[in-house]
A and B are shown apart, each in its own frame.
Chain A
């Protein structure tokens, strides 16, 4: 049995009798994963250990937005594509990020670099329209982002420095 299997067994055992056990288990499994996501194999293991149908586990994992089914980069860059941000040029910013990281968005609107260092997402609106265009990097909101500013931030991240 792999280490991960043993770890999942322990997580399942510790939540098994709780109400809403599946949800807490999936949260714990994702939290303890390397790239903040639930792999297919992990979902199978959870279903098996908790003795629930695979389809049920998949249903829960796809219902809650905070579960990721794909590996998440060390740094998560979220570009707002809401109306306010759009009119203030969020499209070119998005294009710039993708180009600089050599990525293409999938149909879910996300993409992750092969080395799992960066994930790029879009959102419909951050609710910070007055500060448009808005980009979040690792949950920190950056307002009135310009191409130049964005380029600097990405460069720092690429060099392994903090973004100011």
Chain B
């Protein structure tokens, strides 16, 4: 027999598994799904809850199947009385200190703790509450709310923040009954190095970390007849929203999404993909400008707001590498409240721009003080005073928030007829679609830059090496005589690798794309729960399918974008573009000393 294979007995069945297989994975192969609470595949294994116990013959105590691997000849019982009793007991211990306010809870019907209690048949906890204090809810962040009272100390968020994002804004602090997840000195996420990525909210099994919802503000705006409420949808929503509305994983729902937004009452349903094409124009030209004018290289993309706060905080000396382009969300807001306002003869003060984003950091981005170029544009023309200041984007909702709004009003999502985006800010190319996936912005930029740089038509628009499902990907391109190397990173720990190369002077790249979330925006912190590697793969498939189905796949060929330049912006990097579509960055500190 293969050295690497070992056999064991699970509930009387003999099965053979690879050495090093976790007991719970072996059980799954034997047809038994062991319940888990703190453990999350590929993400975190903390071994603290004891919900996953099994009996191993010869072992005195029950064994946590998420923490231990199968040994040759192991005899495992997954559901005898002793095991079932212990699982319930361990869950009841967790519940003893839990608020149990399911009916009014943010995570009601989408909560692992609730689902597990249901599954294990736990109806009450036999244990009294041991925690004395009610913990203060952390509302300091623009993006997230942390409620330590709902926390079950599973450690997933801490792990994700440290390992996936290399940020460590949060940690377990205190000891014993006082243990809790907290930022430094409990100063709150908003006063910490947190990048607002929301990956912690995606893995949290309970309502202890949720997005800071702006749904009510949007409902209020929709109900106000004096306002014109525009909505824009990020590329990744069309492969995420369906899941939250009960359709299959990664289902592509572009047309229903548009119809559902119209049904909610938005005056115009526009597409962030329109400004994704615009971003490509500006960014490709910026890259070409840097290449021909000895500009700072590598140039790094700037559309992911978690990434922006990360580099501003941890590598402030490197912000010069960032493209000065605003993200598509912000370009949209700036264009909607200037160009579109003029076209449609609207008072910019009466326009509200709502974005639907796969991202919690977009809330922070929309609130950045420099994101008010449309106000600056109108200030003199309309003689506005500072108190009338308006932001380019008013509210940024996550996919999850939109799904809740749709459910609240009772829209039958699956039964909706598909419909098209409104003109003129609704037209987009395949290049814009793939912004949803890690590697997509790079690919779209190359579709435009390579063509412009070589002066020849790019026949094959798909860059296979940029689509490999890896944290860091690279490609080498021949442009004329020279070879240009580019790289793509998703998650901040991978971005750190590329930044450290730049710091050490060893970066071989000309152009780098960074996305904060695993596999890019389609795995964003505002996407439906659960989001895991398998689900992300399905969403990515749908995105590339949508790209292939688009009649135009290169951003610079988008006629609506060409028209926008002809009528309003002039050309990429023009003074008007600079004014509305480009931005500056803030240097932040990791270790604040007052």
Chain A interface residues (CB < 8 Å from chain B): 40-41, 43-45, 47-48, 53-59, 62-65, 107
Q: Cβ of B175: which chain A residues have Cβ within 8 Å of it?
A: 62-65
Chain B residues closer than 8 Å to A40, beta-carbon distance: 185
Given A53-B193, A54-B184, does the pair A59, B171 have CB atoms closer than 8 Å? Answer: yes
Nearest residue (CB) in A for B166 is A53
Given A40-B185, A44-B593, A45-B593, residue A55 in contact with residue B174 (CB < 8 A):
no
Q: Verify if B173 is at the interface (C-beta below 8 Å from A).
A: yes
Contact present for B173 and A62 (CB under 8 Å): yes
Residue B7 at the A interface, CB < 8 A? no
Given A48-B593, A58-B171, A64-B175; 20 other pairs, CB 8 A cutoff: A41-B593, A43-B184, A43-B185, A45-B591, A48-B590, A53-B167, A53-B168, A53-B169, A53-B171, A54-B193, A55-B182, A55-B183, A55-B192, A59-B171, A59-B172, A59-B173, A62-B173, A62-B174, A65-B175, A107-B133
Pairs A–B under 8 Å by Cβ, sample size 22 = A41-B594, A44-B593, A45-B591, A45-B593, A48-B590, A48-B593, A53-B167, A53-B168, A53-B169, A53-B171, A53-B193, A54-B192, A54-B193, A54-B591, A55-B192, A56-B168, A56-B171, A62-B173, A62-B175, A63-B175, A64-B175, A65-B175
- Which residues of chain B are within 8 angstroms of A41 by Cβ–Cβ distance? 593-594
A54 → chain B closest CB, angstroms? 4
Question: How distant is B232 from chain A, measured CB to nearest CB, in Å?
Answer: 35
Q: Which of B152-197 contact A (CB under 8 A)?
A: 162, 167-175, 182-185, 192-193
B132 to chain A: closest residue by CB = A107
**Residue of A43, A54, A63 ringed by the most chain B CB atoms within 10 A:** A54
List the B residue with the shortest CB-CB distance to A52: B168
Q: How far is the CA of A45 from the CA of B172 in the complex (A)?
A: 20
Give complex CA distance A65, B594 in Å: 27
When distances are taken between beta carbons in the complex, the residues of chain B under 8 Å from A57 are: 184
B593 engages A55 (CB within 8 Å): no
Whether A55 contacts B591 in the complex (CB less than 8 A), given A40-B185, A63-B175, comes out as no
B551 at the interface (CB under 8 A from A): no
Chain B residues in 8 Å Cβ range of A64 = 175
Q: Complex: how many Å from CA A79 to CA B222?
A: 61
B592 interface hit (Cβ, 8 Å): yes
What are the residues of chain A within 8 A of B183 when measuring CB–CB? 55
Q: With contacts A40-B185, A55-B184, A58-B185 known, is A47 near B591, CB below 8 A?
A: yes
Other-chain contact of B591, A44, A56, A59, A107 (Cβ < 8 Å) = A44
Q: Report the bound CA distance from A64 to B172 in whole Å.
A: 13
Report whether B590 and A54 are in contact in the complex, using a CB–CB cutoff of 8 Å: yes
For the complex, what is the distance from the CA of A62 to the CA of B171, rounded to whole Å? 11
Question: Taking the nearest CB of chain A, how far is it from the CB of B366, in angstroms?
Answer: 26
Q: Which residues of B are found within 8 Å of A59, using beta-carbon distances?
A: 171-173
Closest to B593 in A: A44
Chain A residues contacting B174 (CB-CB under 8 Å) are 62-63
Nearest A residue to B174, CB-CB: A62
CB distance from B172 to the nearest CB of A (A): 6
Contact between B170 and A55 (Cβ–Cβ < 8 Å)?
A: yes
Contact status A58-B173, CB under 8 Å:
yes
- Among B133, B168, B594, point to the contact of A55 (Cβ < 8 A): B168
Which chain B residues border A43 with CB–CB below 8 Å? Answer: 184-185
Q: Which residues of A contact B184 (CB under 8 A)?
A: 43, 54-55, 57-58
- The smallest C-beta distance from A26 to any residue of chain B, in angstroms, reads 14
Instruction: Point out which of B162, B182, B185 has the most chain A C-beta atoms below 10 A from its C-beta.
Output: B185
Shortest Cβ distance from residue A36 to the other chain B in the assembled complex, whole angstroms: 19
With a cutoff of 8 Å between Cβ atoms, the chain A residues found around residue B172 in the complex are 59
* A44 proximity list for chain B (CB < 8 A): 591-593
B167 proximity list for chain A (CB < 8 A): 53
Contacts of B169 in A (CB 8 A): 53, 55
* Least CB distance, A124 to chain B, in whole angstroms: 11
A108 to B, closest residue via Cβ:
B178
Q: Which residue of B lies closest to A48 (CB)?
A: B591
Residues of A within 8 A of B171 (CB): 53, 55-56, 58-59
Q: Considering the chains assembled together, what is the distance between the CA atoms of A107 and B178 in angstroms?
A: 12
CA distance A63 to B169 in the complex (A): 17
Closest 10 CB pairs of A and B: A53-B168, A55-B171, A54-B184, A48-B591, A59-B171, A62-B173, A58-B184, A62-B174, A63-B175, A59-B173
